[in-house]
Amino acid sequence: MSDFGRIITAMVTAFDANENLDLSKQTKLIEYLFQNETDSIIVNGTTGESPTLSKEEKIMLFEHAVEHTKGKGKVIAGTGTNNTKESIELTKKAEEIGVDGILLVNPYYNRPNQEGLFQHFKTIAESTSLPVMLYNIPGRSAVNMTPETVLRLAETPNITMVKESSGDLGQAVEILKHAPDNFLLYTGNDDLTLPTLSVGGYGVVSVTSHVKGNEMQEMIQSYLAGDIKKAAKLNQDLYDIFNVLFSSPSPGPVKRVLNHLGVEVGSTRLPIASLSAEEEKYILGFFN
């Protein structure tokens, strides 16, 4: 089992003024994230605006991330789509490029039942030797993957992790209660990082780590060292940031904050619209 660390940043995708990929900005972003205690990165996840990226752009980003993370951390490629065959093709290409793991999101729009989810994920996982992270996000995919389905999938040798983004801590507990010892649960909700650790979770797939990576790592390490009071205080200090970064459609807020901090990543692509002046003022008020 590969160790992807406690903080995996769901990395934004950098664009130029014409909304084309800007790989020079992406390089600087990768360096910045690892300097600020990110352990691994996800490329082409939700925060990377995956629905707006072409297959060719996704492959370019995978290649670029693998090249520029050597000696720094690991790369997880988001290869899940709502088309099983297409996901297999992209997964095989990502493995050929040299990524360290893959992220498979719930099929969106199709609204499969639990058996459909099971067969979709199992079929893709069996097409690769890479570690697989399942990604349960019912708020975006319109279907929840139940703990029972996650546990069935955990019997597949290379399905070793889940990004649990339902926001339901009870669902996380049910998974952890019955999962194999080597199966890791990451929360996909920054504000549930500390509660997830407290029930046996392993870490977080984070947006906030783009701008508060050191503080989040300190919170996690304080908890693991048994300094619960310090971890709780750090969580309290970060709590407003967790919320403000999702006060408008993501990744609009985090991209604006990164640009404000001098880490240029450009704007979002439609259909995620640019922030209004009022939204910008509210968000940047937490970073001045």
User: Per-residue b/e over 154-187, b at no fewer than 16 CB within 10 Å?
Assistant: beeeebbbbbbbbebbebbbbbbeebeeebbbbb
Which residues make up each annotated binding site for pyruvate?
A: 47, 205
Mean pLDDT of 90-103: 98
pLDDT at 158: 97
Counting the structural domains of the chain, the total is: 1
CATH number at residue 216: 3.20.20.70
Residue 182 reports pLDDT greater than 60: yes
Catalytic residue numbers, as ranges: 135, 163
Question: Residue 11 falls within a domain, yes or no?
Answer: yes
Identify the domain containing residue 158 by its residue range.
Answer: 7-227
Distance CA 154, CA 133 (A): 10
The continuous run of DSSP H or E covering 121 comes out as helix 114-125
Residue from 197, 131, 140, 194 nearest 165 by CA: 140
58: in domain: yes
288 domain-assigned: no
Q: Per the domain annotation, does 237 fall within a domain?
A: no
Residue type, 218: E
CA dihedral in degrees (244, 220, 64, 268; nearest 10)?
A: -10
In a domain, 262, yes or no: no
Quick check: is 254 in a domain? no
Residue 160: its H or E element: strand 159-164
Q: Which two tokens stand for residue 147?
A: 């703990």
What tokens were used for 69? 């993370």
Kindly give, in sequence order, each residue whose CB lies less than 8 Å from that of residue 27, ignoring residues fewer than 6 positions away.
64, 68
Instruction: Identify the DSSP state of 220.
Output: H
Contact 14, 216 (CB under 8 A): no
Residue type for position 48: G
Neighbours of 202 (CB within 10 A): 19
How high does pLDDT run on average in the chain? 97
Task: Give the largest Cα separation in the chain, rounded.
Answer: 49
Q: Which residues share a beta bridge with 135?
A: 105, 163
Within 13 Å of residue 41, how many CA atoms lie on the same side as its CB?
32
Averaged pLDDT for residues 258-274 = 97
252 within some domain = no
Phi, psi of 144 (to 5 degrees): -95, 130
State what percent of residues in the chain have pLDDT above 70.
99
Q: Are 193 and 216 spatial neighbours (Cβ–Cβ below 8 Å)?
A: yes
CB within 8 Å of 115: residues ≥ 6 apart: none
Report residue 288's pLDDT band, with 50, 70 and 90 as the boundaries.
confident
Buried b (16+ CB within 10 A) or exposed e, 212-250: bbebbbbbbebbeeeeeeebeebbeebeebbebbbebeb
| Within-domain flag for 274 | no
Answer yes or no: is pLDDT of 1 > 60.
no
pLDDT digits (tens, 9 = 90+) for 61-94: 999 999 999 999 999 999 999 999 999 999 999 9
Q: Between β-strands 159-164 and 184-187, what pairing exists: parallel, antiparallel or unpaired? A: parallel
pTM of structure: 0.96
